[in-house]
Structure 1
Amino acid sequence: MAVAEEVKLFRSWSSPFGLRVVWALKLKGIEYDEELEDLSNKSPLLLQYNPVYKKIPVLVHNGKPICESLLIIEYLEETWKQTPLLPEDPHQRALARFWAKFGDEKVFETMRFGILLKQGKEQEEAIVSTIENLKYLEEELKGKKFFGGETIGLVDIALGWLAYHFNVVEEIIGVKLMIEQQTFPLLVAWMQEFSNIPTIQESWPPRDKLFDRFAGFRKAALGEEHTPK
């Protein structure tokens, strides 16, 4: 990377969306500075760089902000050509974007708003829906080590939170959900392969701290009092 280039990432320590940008930056060997945001007291710079959504992550490259994690990764891909995260073939690139979006809209959103923040019938329905959506991911992994083939790509980074955050949610709600060897052998193998990569492993947030944060979200949503571990 040219010396004159300045790259800064605004994110929160616990967000899987910011974490996926960290992975992309590190996999591509891009030097960057980091600003960890307190989302209950957002910095003036964050509000300046993302005045529309006022959310993280935000990447600032030479003073120009890019918002939304998947768009940031696409920007990195187009700007820094080393360690490609998207295939060259246009159809395969479109498929990668499709599955990355599927992971956000059909798996993560259901996990967060349906499983973590609900209980009773609503939670049960969300679990059933998540199982059905995970079946699509299991099918997509057939014959492949990663979603992108033999190397990590956009879809792996987009779904990487499954290898860590999902288990934390299971512990919080006290229910062993569904990503097990007998049910989803390919997903389990992928999670292990993904987690074993040093760049990924060294970036996970502290588990106890993440547990407390997510447990606090759940108790607040259910109107309960939260006592940290």
Structure 2
Amino acid sequence: MATASALDKSVPEKLAPPLDATAEQPPLFDGTTKLYTCYTCPFAQRVWITRNFKGLQDEIKLVPLILQNRPAWYPEKVYPPNKVPSLEHNGKITGESLDLIKYLESNFEGPSLLPKDPAKKEFAEELFSYTDKFNGTVYTAFKGDLAKEAGPAFDYLENALHKFDDGPFFLGKEFSLVDIAYIPFVERLNIFLLEVFKYDIAAGRQKLAAWIEEVNKIEAYKQTKTDPKELVEFYKKRFLA
């Protein structure tokens, strides 16, 4: 059985500087597939990890934006919802991170990130549908009783990781889009909650701790991680000010 790290097709990549309001717009619909992104956005990170793991660095060009000072041409000419991520492919622009990771899986070559097993497919959809509730539960708990209010969301992940015992990931041995859907948020929460609230999300949750450790071995993910100090400061300003 090949490990997730062995299947990982990512290659080292020099990242372009992000574009601000003064930047010129890259050519639109010139035949280049582009991922409009932000290096620090967890939603965009989902698609970035998927791109990397499938070995699409040469096929899908990153167009990073500074969201706090984004170019006017982005909502006016590229993606009117004015959010990232969005993907320019085959003459159209599409968005929404969960839709886009599934789109990359269906429309591009590279290692498969969804299982063939029907039971695992069904569980994957259940976990995809929980992502918004997970984020909403935890992020709204910052100003309440954190352990009491956010604890059940982390318990849900811990219990989900017990579902299949053939590997460390949500769907067992296969690193999948489900892991990619959750890790950008768990990454941030793990750092922020420990630093600011002294709340260890992995304490008493062995499966969750092992999952975080395993995902951190995957190069496609490691290339997308946010600097912890910057992350903590950003979250303090956004959620605790």
Task: Give the TM-score of the pair, scaled to structure 2.
Answer: 0.76
State the SS of the aligned residue for 1:164: helix
Q: Say if 2:91 is the partner of 1:36.
A: no
Separation in 2, partners of 1:209, 1:106: 26
Question: How many angstroms does 1:84 deviate by?
Answer: 0.7
Match of 2:201 among 132, 154, 178: 178
Matches within 5 A, 1:38-53: 38-47=66-75, 48-51=77-80, 53=81
Gaps of 5+ in 1: 221-229
Separation in 1, partners of 2:35, 2:210: 31
CA contact (8 A) 1:170 1:177 kept: yes
Q: Say if 2:47 is the partner of 1:21.
A: yes
What residue number does 1:150 align with?
A: 173
CA contact (8 A) 2:161 2:207 kept: yes
Separation in 2, partners of 1:44, 1:62: 23
Match of 2:124 among 96, 99, 116: 96
Match of 1:204 among 204, 225, 228: 225
Match of 2:85 among 53, 57, 62: 57
What residue number does 1:224 align with?
A: none
Question: How many angstroms does 1:163 deviate by?
Answer: 5.0
Match of 1:192 among 213, 219, 235: 213
Question: How many angstroms does 1:23 deviate by?
Answer: 0.8
State the SS of the aligned residue for 1:40: helix
What residue number does 2:152 align with?
A: 129
| Amino acid across the alignment from 1:195 | N
Matches within 5 A, 1:110-121: 110-115=137-142, 118-119=143-144, 121=145
What residue number does 2:32 align with?
A: 6
1:192-221 deviations in Å (ceiling 9; x for gaps): 01101122112211121111111110233x
What residue number does 2:188 align with?
A: 165
1:1-41 deviations in Å (ceiling 9; x for gaps): xxx95221112221111111111001111122222223233
| Amino acid across the alignment from 2:160 | L
- Count of aligned positions: 209
Question: How many angstroms does 1:88 deviate by?
Answer: 2.5
Measured on the aligned residues, the alpha-carbon RMSD in Å equals 2.3
CA contact (8 A) 1:86 1:153 kept: yes
What residue number does 1:223 align with?
A: none
CA contact (8 A) 1:86 1:154 kept: yes
Separation in 2, partners of 1:12, 1:6: 18
State the SS of the aligned residue for 1:150: coil
Gaps of 5+ in 2: 1-29
Identity across the alignment (%): 24
Question: How many angstroms does 1:45 deviate by?
Answer: 4.0
Cα 1:97–1:22 shift into 2, 3 Å: same
What residue number does 1:70 align with?
A: 98
Cα 1:132–1:150 shift into 2, 3 Å: closer
Which deviates further from its counterpart, 144-153 or 16-25? 144-153
Cα 1:113–1:49 shift into 2, 3 Å: farther
State the SS of the aligned residue for 2:34: strand
Cα 1:149–1:6 shift into 2, 3 Å: farther
Question: How many angstroms does 1:91 deviate by?
Answer: 4.8
CA contact (8 A) 1:56 1:67 kept: yes
Question: How many angstroms does 1:124 deviate by?
Answer: 5.2
